[in-house]
Amino acid sequence: MSTTIENPNYAYPARSKRGPSFEKAGWIFMRASGVVLVVLIFGHLAYNLIWTPGGISAIDFGFVGGKLADPFWRWWDVTMLWLAILHGSNGMRTIVNDYVHKPRIRQIALGAIAVAAAILILLGTLITFTFDPCPPTADPSLLPSFCADL
């Protein structure tokens, strides 16, 4: 037995087209966002879990209110939100394309990833920028300490 390959010297271009393409943009985005996410996520974890005395046990409404009153942390969180969701969703798209071969199911899975990404980005961005650290009707003992001075 042997294998016969017709036209073994037939040369075809490795790339079907040159110039911008969606997959290439995605490839670059995964790497660019990854580098920025290392800084944002490591900073997020270090600040919330290690550098804040008490770490996880100190996280409550007062803690988040104190953080989000500062524009620095608002922009930090929103940048992290957008990049992490887009990066994670694009990665999930790759994985679905690898494993899901039935066109109908693949379409549904990709649609669900896109819808989830849109909803979470919208929701997260809205709550970060419309958040009131001192809601007037809330129990004052649960609020950040600076609310007492208002």
Partner 1 sequence: MSETSSSLTLPDPSPRKTSFSGTLYRGNEGMWSWVLHRITGVAIYFFLLVHVLDTALIRVSPEAYNAVMATYKNPIMGLGEVVLVGAVVLHALNGLRIILVDVWPWATRNQRPLFWIVMGVVVVLMAYFVPNHLINVFSPMEGAE
- Binding residues (CB under 8 A) for partner 1: these are 1-11, 31, 34-35, 37-38, 41-42, 45, 49-50, 53-62, 64-65, 68, 81, 84-85, 88-89, 91-92, 95, 116, 120, 123-124, 126-127, 130-131, 135, 138-139, 142-143
Assess 147 for contact with ligand HEM (CB under 6 A).
Answer: no
84 — phi, psi (to 5°)? -65, -40
Assess 116 for contact with ligand HEM (CB under 6 A).
Answer: no
**How far apart are the two ends of the chain, measured CA to CA in Å?**
88
Assess 93 for contact with ligand HEM (CB under 6 A).
Answer: no
Rounded to whole angstroms, what are the CA distances from 72 to 59, 63, 66?
19, 15, 12
Assess 121 for contact with ligand HEM (CB under 6 A).
Answer: no
Rg (CA), the chain: 24
**What minimum distance in Å lies between the beta carbon of 130 and ligand HEM?**
11
Among 81, 113, 117, 147, binds ligand HEM (CB under 6 A): 81
Burial zone of 10 (CB within 10 Å; 0-12 exposed, 13-18 middle, 19+ buried): exposed
Rounded to whole angstroms, what are the CA distances from 36 to 17, 40, 67, 116, 120?
30, 6, 21, 22, 20
Degrees to nearest 5, angle at CA 74 with 68 and 117: 115
Assess 80 for contact with ligand HEM (CB under 6 A).
Answer: yes
Residues lying near ligand HEM in the complex (CB under 6 A) are found at: 30-31, 34, 37-38, 41, 44-45, 48-49, 56, 59, 64, 67, 73, 77-78, 80-81, 84, 87-88, 91-92, 94-95, 124, 127-128
